[in-house]
Structure 1
Amino acid sequence: MANTTTSFDTAWTEHFRNDSFRHKLSSEILPSYMMGTRWYAAKSQKVKTCRIEMAMPFSITNHQTAFFITIEVNFAAGFTEYYFMTLAFVKDRSAVDHEIAIVHSLSIDAHEGVIVDALYFEPFRKALYHQILSQKSITDGHTKLSFERGKVLRNSPPYESSKVMGFDQSNTSIEYNGKYFFKAYRRLFQDANPDLEITKFLSDESYFENSPKYGGSISWVKNQYAVLSIGIIQERIDNVGEAWNHTLDMMKGYFERIEATSIAPKDIEDILNFELRETEALRSDFRLLIGDDALQKVERMALRVAQMHIALFSNKVDTKFNPIPFNGDYTVWLKNRIIYQLNARFILVEENLSKLKGLARQYAELFVASREKITTQFLAFEETRLNSSRIRIHGDLHLGQILMTPNDDFYIIDYEGEPESTIRDRKVKQTPLKDVAGMLRSFHYGIYAVIFDEKSKHKLSVEDRFLVGEKYYRALSAVFLNSYVKEAMANNLDIGYESEIRYLLQYHLLEKAVYEIGYELKARPDWVIIPLTGIKQILDELS
C-alpha cells in the first residue's frame, strides 16, 4: 500500500472513466499492491506495461458500488499475463477483514478512505453470493459477466455468513455459510479454467462422488471467441486436512517403529519397483512396520484416483472429454514441452550449483552431467508402441490435492493443472498414469522429507534410512498400483497392459521429478535434494 493519499473530486463510480485515475491505478497503485500478494506469480519479471482491460461496475447496495477488473500485464521478456481483482472504496478501513485488503489510500470529495480488494469486504461477498443465486448477467457495452448457479445451490439457500480462507494462496477462497467455497481465480487465461470444466463435469455428468459438487461460477464473456473463468463455487468438504500431512505422520511412524526394534534394514522385505501387491501379500513383519491402517489408506486413495479417471473416461461424445488414442501430434507436443522445460531446469540448476552443499550438490552435478541421457530418454517416446487411451486428467495430482475426511475417506480437489503450464497445455488429453506418477512421486517426497528432516533425531545412518525408505516407497507404490489397476481393469479404463503401464509410469515419474526441481529451487532450495534423489534413482534403474 502506498504511503501517500491520492485525491480526486469525482465520485467513486466515475473514477474508471477518469483517464488520470485509470493511469495512476494501472501504472502505479495496482503493480505496487500486486507485488505484495501471494497470487501474483511474476514477481521476478520486469513489467513493461500494465493496463486495466475490463472494469465492470457491480452494485453492493443502492449506495455502494464495487468494480470487477482485469489487469493485463506485459513483461519486458515478451509475454503477457492477466489478473483478476475486485475493488471497492470504503471510508472505514476497519470494515475489511484483513490489512492485506488495503490497496491504496484515497480522498474523494474530501472524504478520506481506502481502495480495498472487495473480496475481503463482507457486504461485497454477500452481494456476490446473491448475484450467483440470481444467475443474472451484468453487461457493459459489448462485454458481460455471466453468473451461473449449479445444482448444489438450486434451492437458493439464504446467505448466512462468509469469510476469506487463508491469505497465502495462489487463488482467493471464500467460505459461505460454512457449507460452500467460492474460489476466485486470480490469474486468468483466455479460455475456461480446467478446474471449472472438470469439477462441473465430475459433479453433473458422472457418478464420481469424491470430488466437490459444482455450485456455480462467474465467467467474463469477453467476446464471441473468448470466455474467461473468474471463479467457481462448490460444496465444502468436511475434512481433517490434506492427505499430505496425514501421510507424513504415518511415514514418521514407520521410521520410528524400525528404530524401536532390533530389525536390520537389510532384513526388511524388498519389493520390486512397479510390482503390484495386495496388502495381505506383504510379509507380516513388514505390515507391522508400515501399519495396516496406513496401507488401507493408500489402497483407498488409489481407489478414488481410479474412480476419478473412470469417470473422466466415461464420456464418449463431448469432444472436451471423450477418450482419444496416442498419435504423432501428441508426441511432438509432449517432446517439445518436456525438452523446453528440461533445458530450463538444467540452466536453473547450473546457476544455483554454488548454493548447494553436500549430497544435494553431488546429485545436482550428476543431474547436469546426465543431460544427454535424460534428454535421450524423453526423446525416445514413441506413440506406436502405445495402445491405451488419452483422457482429460487432473494434471497436478499429489497428496496436497487430496482431502482426508473424518471417516478416513479421500476427496480429490483443485483441477487447475500444473501452474507453469499454459491453458492449452493443461487441457491436452494425456494418459491417466501421469496422475498416478504424480501420486507415487508424492509418496517419495514424503519419505525423503522424513529422511532429510534435520529436526528428527534419527538413530539410523543416512545409508540405512535410504535403504528402509526405498523399501517403504516400493511397498506403498505396489499397494497403490495394485488397488488402482484392479479398479481400472474392472471398469474397462484403457490404461494398457503391464509393459505399457510400466513404460508410461517410468516416463512420467522422470518428467514429474524434473518439474519439481524448478519449484524447489525457486521456493525452498533446501528441498531440491528430494527431486534430485528421485532422478538419480530413476537414472540408476535405466542403466
Structure 2
Amino acid sequence: MSGEGGRPALDLRGRSWEALPEWFSQSPLPDLLGDFLPSRRWFGSKSRSLRSVMAERIFSLDGGGRGPLFLCLLQVAFGEGENERYVLPLARARGGEVPEAGLIAPLDSPGEDPLWLVDGFFVAETGRELLRLLLVPDSPPAGLERVRTEVLKKRQVAFDPDLVPRVFGGEQSNTSLLFGRRLMLKGYRKLAPGINPDLEVGEFLSRQGEGLPIPATYGALLTKTPQGEPLVLGLLQEFVENQGEGWSWFLSRLPAVLSGEGDGGILDRMVERLGRETARLHRALGGDPSDPDFSPRPFTGEDLAGLCQEIDGRIARVFRALEERKSGLSGSARERAEDLLSRRSRLDDFLRDCRARGPGGMRIRCHGDFHLGQVLVTRDEGVIFLDFEGEPAVPLALRRLRTTPLQDVAGMLRSFHYLSVSALPDRTTGRERAEGWYREQFGRYLGAYGREVEGLLPEPAPAGGILGLCLLRKALYELAYEIDNRPGWVEIPLSGILALLDAPLPEFGGGV
C-alpha cells in the first residue's frame, strides 16, 4: 500500500503502536527499514547488497504525550560478509514536524490525523528522555546503563526539562542533539562492541584539567551485547560556543585568498594555531605514564614494519577497486587512476625508502580521524577538537591501539589538500595556485607542531619517513572511501598519492 509521496505505508490497523516490539518482525517494518537505512549518510555499507533487517533489541522509552518511543538496535544482514549493528529510535509524528531526512513511512492508522513513522532523533521527546536518563539519578530501563564522569559531578550538571533539543549540523556518521547552548548529546548510529574511544579518550582528557582544546565529557548511555561487551549508544558533552567547523570556516575564506582578494594572513595564523593546539593535544594524550591505557611507548622497528604491512594491504585493496571502477571515472580522474595503477613498483620503492629511514619517537593514543571537520573554531578564534572515535571503517579494537602521533598530523595535512581543491570554482581552475597554498600551509602547520610537541617525535630523517608513510596511508583510505561513496572526488586523493611519489620526503622531526 502506498502512502504520501509514493512511499509504501506501514499499516497499523489491527496493531497497537505500544506493542511495536511484539509485532516488529511479523510486519512490513523490516522491509521499510531496509529501504530507509541505505539512504542515510550514516549507513556505512551502501555498496553492499542488503538482505534483511532484524531487531536485536528494542527499548521502550517514555515519550510523554507522544506515546512510547522505541530505541531499536538493528542487525543488518548482507548478501555476503558480516552483519552490522545500527541504532534507530522510532517515533510517530506529523509530516510537517520532521524534516525529509527523518521520514521513514506514512502510517495507515484509522481514526487519527495523518502520521508518519519517523527517525526518533528528530522529535524533541527522544532527546529529552535520553538526557533525563543520563542526568537524573534513578534507574534506567532494564538493559540500559550509564556512565557519569567526575567532571559531570564536579560541575553539578543538572537535568532541565525545559531544554528543547534540536538536531545540530547536517547528516554525518552520527547524530548530534543540541540542548540550548549548554549540552551536546551525540547519538551513535553504527555500533561496534567494545570500549568506545570517543568516551574513553574524552573521559581521560577531561581528567587532565581545564584548558585543553576539547569539550568536557559528561557521560554516556550504553547497553551490552549478549556476550557482555559494551555498546555505547550516546555520549553527553559540554557545548562550546563556536563559529562553526574548521572546514566551513576555512572554505568561506579561502576562495577569496586564492583569487587574490582576501587576507591570507588570517588563514596563516589559524593554521599555526592548529599546529600548536595539535601538539598540546598530543602532549596531553601522552602525558600520563602511570595510566596503562594511555602511557606512551617507543615506536619501534616492529611498529614500523607493521605500518608498512598495513599500507601494503591497503594498496592491494585500492588497486583492485580502481581496476574494477576506473571505466566509470571522468576523463582526468581516469587518467590519474591509470597513472597510479602503472606505478605499483614506485609505491614499493616509496615504502622501502620510508622504512629505511628507521623508527623512532613515541607511540601514543591518538585522535585517529583528524581533519578540519573535527575542529570547532571558537568565538575568539581558538580551536576545539571533536570526535575521538577514530576512522569509522577501522575495527574498534584497532582504533584503541597506540600509534605515532604523525598519523593525526597526516590526517590534518590531507584535509588541507582537500580544502585547497574544494575552494576552486570547479575544482580545476586555479589548481596551481591552490597547490602552492597547500604546500605553504603544509610547512606552516608542521613547523608550529614540531616546535611544541616536545619529545614525541624522532629526529628529522626517520620522522620524515614515518610522516610519508602516514600521508600515504591516509590518502589510500580517502581513495577507498571516494571510490565507494563519491566517485566524483577520487581525483583529490589520487593527485595526493601521485604527488607524494614524485616529491622528496619531508625533513621534519625532533628539534624542528
Q: Same fold (TM over 0.5)?
A: yes
- 1:206-355 matches, within 5 Å, as 206-222=209-225, 225-257=228-260, 291-327=264-300, 330-331=303-304, 333-355=306-328
Paired residue for 1:158, among 157, 160, 164? 160
The separation in 1 between residues aligned to 2:210 and 2:177, in whole angstroms, is: 27
Equivalent residue number for residue 451 of structure 2: 486
Equivalent residue number for residue 82 of structure 2: 79
Does the alignment pair 1:13 with 2:18? yes
Does the alignment pair 1:518 with 2:480? yes
Equivalent residue number for residue 410 of structure 1: 383
Give, as a single letter, the amino acid of the residue that structure 1 aligns with 2:146: S
Greater CA drift, 235-244 or 152-161:
152-161
Quote the offset at 1:483 in angstroms: 1.2
| Distance change (3 Å), C-alpha of 1:236 and 1:383 | farther
Quote the offset at 1:383 in angstroms: 9.7
The separation in 1 between residues aligned to 2:30 and 2:218, in whole angstroms, is: 36
The separation in 2 between residues aligned to 1:505 and 1:84, in whole angstroms, is: 36
Greater CA drift, 505-514 or 111-120:
111-120
Does the alignment pair 1:448 with 2:418? no
Equivalent residue number for residue 178 of structure 1: 181
Contact 1:162-1:174 within 8 A present in 2 as well:
yes
The separation in 1 between residues aligned to 2:46 and 2:290, in whole angstroms, is: 42
| Distance change (3 Å), C-alpha of 1:328 and 1:84 | farther
Deviation string, structure 1 residues 105-160 (Cα, Å, up to 9, x no partner): 445797674433222222232222222111444343xx333363663562305232
Quote the offset at 1:229 in angstroms: 0.8
The separation in 2 between residues aligned to 1:144 and 1:428, in whole angstroms, is: 27
Equivalent residue number for residue 169 of structure 1: 172
Deviation string, structure 1 residues 491-525 (Cα, Å, up to 9, x no partner): x4x21121222111111112222222223333433
Contact 2:336-2:494 within 8 A present in 1 as well:
yes
Quote the offset at 1:303 in angstroms: 0.8
Quote the offset at 1:178 in angstroms: 2.5
Equivalent residue number for residue 279 of structure 1: none
Deviation string, structure 1 residues 398-430 (Cα, Å, up to 9, x no partner): 122111123221111122211221112222211
Contact 1:137-1:146 within 8 A present in 2 as well:
no
Contact 1:101-1:117 within 8 A present in 2 as well:
yes
Equivalent residue number for residue 439 of structure 1: 412
The separation in 2 between residues aligned to 1:338 and 1:167, in whole angstroms, is: 32
What SS class does the counterpart of residue 241 from structure 2 fall into?
coil
Quote the offset at 1:532 in angstroms: 1.8
The separation in 2 between residues aligned to 1:191 and 1:379, in whole angstroms, is: 35
Equivalent residue number for residue 510 of structure 2: none
Paired residue for 2:392, among 411, 414, 419? 419
The separation in 2 between residues aligned to 1:532 and 1:290, in whole angstroms, is: 30
What SS class does the counterpart of residue 133 from structure 2 fall into?
helix
What SS class does the counterpart of residue 241 from structure 1 fall into?
strand
Quote the offset at 1:361 in angstroms: 3.0
Equivalent residue number for residue 146 of structure 2: 146
Quote the offset at 1:81 in angstroms: 0.7
Greater CA drift, 181-190 or 55-64:
55-64
Contact 1:12-1:108 within 8 A present in 2 as well:
no
**Which 4+ runs in 1 deviate beyond 6 A?**
none
Quote the offset at 1:394 in angstroms: 1.0
The separation in 2 between residues aligned to 1:294 and 1:339, in whole angstroms, is: 35
| Distance change (3 Å), C-alpha of 1:520 and 1:49 | closer
Does the alignment pair 1:97 with 2:59? no
The separation in 2 between residues aligned to 1:35 and 1:526, in whole angstroms, is: 19
Greater CA drift, 9-18 or 418-427:
9-18
Equivalent residue number for residue 467 of structure 2: 505
Give, as a single letter, the amino acid of the residue that structure 1 aligns with 2:9: T
What SS class does the counterpart of residue 247 from structure 2 fall into?
helix
What SS class does the counterpart of residue 539 from structure 1 fall into?
helix
> How does the TM-score come out when normalised to structure 2?
0.87
Equivalent residue number for residue 132 of structure 1: 134
| Distance change (3 Å), C-alpha of 1:50 and 1:339 | farther
Equivalent residue number for residue 117 of structure 1: 119
Deviation string, structure 1 residues 81-112 (Cα, Å, up to 9, x no partner): 10001123x3x525743243333344579767
Equivalent residue number for residue 508 of structure 2: none
Quote the offset at 1:307 in angstroms: 0.6
| Distance change (3 Å), C-alpha of 1:7 and 1:145 | same
What SS class does the counterpart of residue 75 from structure 2 fall into?
strand
Give, as a single letter, the amino acid of the residue that structure 2 aligns with 1:148: R
Greater CA drift, 496-505 or 24-33:
24-33
Quote the offset at 1:449 in angstroms: 3.2
The separation in 1 between residues aligned to 2:184 and 2:245, in whole angstroms, is: 16
The separation in 2 between residues aligned to 1:336 and 1:48, in whole angstroms, is: 33
What SS class does the counterpart of residue 67 from structure 1 fall into?
strand
The separation in 1 between residues aligned to 2:132 and 2:125, in whole angstroms, is: 11
Equivalent residue number for residue 277 of structure 1: none
Contact 1:135-1:146 within 8 A present in 2 as well:
no
| Distance change (3 Å), C-alpha of 1:336 and 1:70 | farther
Does the alignment pair 1:60 with 2:63? yes
Quote the offset at 1:350 in angstroms: 2.2
Contact 2:305-2:355 within 8 A present in 1 as well:
no
Give, as a single letter, the amino acid of the residue that structure 2 aligns with 1:497: E
Contact 1:222-1:228 within 8 A present in 2 as well:
yes
The separation in 2 between residues aligned to 1:364 and 1:158, in whole angstroms, is: 55
What SS class does the counterpart of residue 294 from structure 2 fall into?
coil
Quote the offset at 1:207 in angstroms: 4.7
Contact 2:361-2:457 within 8 A present in 1 as well:
yes
What SS class does the counterpart of residue 244 from structure 2 fall into?
coil
Equivalent residue number for residue 9 of structure 2: 4
The separation in 1 between residues aligned to 2:264 and 2:497, in whole angstroms, is: 28
State, as a whole percentage, how many aligned pairs show the same letter.
28
Equivalent residue number for residue 529 of structure 1: 491
Contact 2:359-2:466 within 8 A present in 1 as well:
no
What SS class does the counterpart of residue 353 from structure 1 fall into?
helix
| Distance change (3 Å), C-alpha of 1:39 and 1:180 | same
Give, as a single letter, the amino acid of the residue that structure 2 aligns with 1:238: E
The separation in 1 between residues aligned to 2:341 and 2:290, in whole angstroms, is: 45
| Distance change (3 Å), C-alpha of 1:12 and 1:290 | closer
Quote the offset at 1:248 in angstroms: 3.5
| Structure 1: gaps spanning 5 or more residues | 261-288, 459-464
Deviation string, structure 1 residues 151-201 (Cα, Å, up to 9, x no partner): 356230523221112452221111112322111000001113222222222
Contact 1:182-1:234 within 8 A present in 2 as well:
yes
Contact 2:301-2:359 within 8 A present in 1 as well:
no
Greater CA drift, 314-323 or 146-155:
146-155
Paired residue for 1:43, among 29, 41, 46? 46
The separation in 1 between residues aligned to 2:89 and 2:150, in whole angstroms, is: 23
